Homo-oligomer: A and B are copies of this chain.
Amino acid sequence: MSLATIYKEIKHELNAIEKLLETVVEADQDILTQASSQLLKAGGKRMRPIMVLLAAQYGERDREDVRKIAVALELIHMASLVHDDVIDNSEMRRGQQTVKSRWDNRVAMYTGDYIFSRSLKLASEIEIPEVHQILSHTMKEISLGEIEQIEDQYNWTQNVRTYFLRIKRKTALLMAISCQLGAIAAGAPEKVCRHLYYFGYYTGMSYQIIDDVLDFTATEKQLGKPAASDIKQGNVTLPTLIALRKENTAERLMTALKKGDKKTHDWDAIIQLIKDSGSTSEAEKVSTQYIKKAYDQLTYLPQTKTTKHMERIADYISKRKY
């Protein structure tokens, strides 16, 4: 299952989004222009704009506000990626050098700030107070998630609930509001907006869990960045947490994680222990449970072509291999 059918269907609208993205981040400054256009060119699946555009089909889809929301949310996503690369000290993303690697952390910080401010500028043109409240609440939650990610790094004894809250803030909320705000901007009924919010939320949870699984199971080429970089950076994800709770693995894994420090850990052995524990397929099951919840939300919506597309998105997310 791929997103091709959807891309084809909303091609014109997506092209308009792409153009608006380019226009919005244009700047007079060399560094900014280069950094922003590198980010744009690196692409990405534009999941959030797609969600906005599809959600808008439950209302009056052609509104200018819909396009602004789509671009604003993609920019927020891009800005948070740039800042994440600083936190994770990442050199590569989507097969491209990161901003922090091509320039430095300071440039990455301010490029993020700039892209974020452009997003705000666009959002400020939307005269629906609810939109601003939802956006600013989400921004707060995202930044809390970012700080938590630092606080929880290398904390191998953390609660699984901590992980779920973190990925909610890191990923699921932005997808939730992509669906919700697309519908709100298009003037869709309140009930529809609510179910779309939860559809986006569950889909986002599933998406991030799969991401965390793939970090262990996919190749460097598939990922566009070194494999197993999460755990090496101290980011404790679901496969690790499950492995740490498995009878046959827990003790050996914890011993390996306690031996030495992050620089002297035998990462290859640690990663192999986690893979061998079968925890990645258990994590996949958790992801599938979330996708089921996402499907469930769709049953409350009108059974249209759009809802079929939403199903395709959930399907793609649950089955993607990289």
Binding site for B on A (CB under 8 A): 27-32, 83, 86-87, 105-107, 109-111, 113-114, 116-118, 120-121, 123-125, 127, 129, 132-133, 135-137, 139-140, 142-144, 146-148, 150-151
- With A32-B147, A110-B147 as contacts: A117 and B139 at CB distance below 8 Å: yes
Q: Which of B109, B118, B139, B142 contacts A83 (CB 8 A)?
A: B109
What is the distance, in angstroms, from A265's C-beta to the closest C-beta of chain B?
A: 21
Q: Are B143 and A117 in contact (CB under 8 A)?
A: yes
Q: Are A107 and B150 in contact (CB under 8 A)?
A: yes
Q: Are B83 and A146 in contact (CB under 8 A)?
A: no
Q: Which of B109, B123, B151 contacts A29 (CB 8 A)?
A: B151
- With A109-B109, A114-B140, A140-B114 as contacts: A150 and B31 at CB distance below 8 Å: yes
Residue in chain B with minimal CB distance to A132: B124
Residue in chain B with minimal CB distance to A145: B110
Q: Once the chains are docked, how many angstroms separate the CA of A83 from the CA of B123?
A: 23
What is the distance, in angstroms, from A20's C-beta to the closest C-beta of chain B?
A: 16
Q: Which of B28, B110, B136 contacts A146 (CB 8 A)?
A: B110
Which chain B positions have C-beta within 8 A of A143? 110, 113-114, 116-117
Q: Once the chains are docked, how many angstroms separate the CA of A127 from the CA of B114?
A: 25
The 3 closest A-B pairs by CB, nearest first: A124-B132, A124-B136, A120-B136
Q: Once the chains are docked, how many angstroms separate the CA of A151 from the CA of B111?
A: 12
Q: Once the chains are docked, how many angstroms separate the CA of A109 from the CA of B120?
A: 18
Which chain B positions have C-beta within 8 A of A142? 117
Q: Which of B30, B118, B125 contacts A133 (CB 8 A)?
A: B125
Residue in chain B with minimal CB distance to A140: B117
Q: Are B86 and A106 in contact (CB under 8 A)?
A: yes
Q: Once the chains are docked, how many angstroms separate the CA of A23 from the CA of B235?
A: 31
Q: Once the chains are docked, how many angstroms separate the CA of A129 from the CA of B146?
A: 29
Which chain B positions have C-beta within 8 A of A129? 124, 127
Residue in chain B with minimal CB distance to A108: B109
Q: Are A86 and B114 in contact (CB under 8 A)?
A: no
- With A27-B144, A29-B144 as contacts: A139 and B110 at CB distance below 8 Å: no
Which chain B positions have C-beta within 8 A of A125? 133
Q: Are B86 and A109 in contact (CB under 8 A)?
A: yes
Which chain B positions have C-beta within 8 A of A27? 144, 147
- Specify which of A30, A133, A135, A143 lies most central, judged by the most chain B CB atoms within 10 Å of its CB: A143
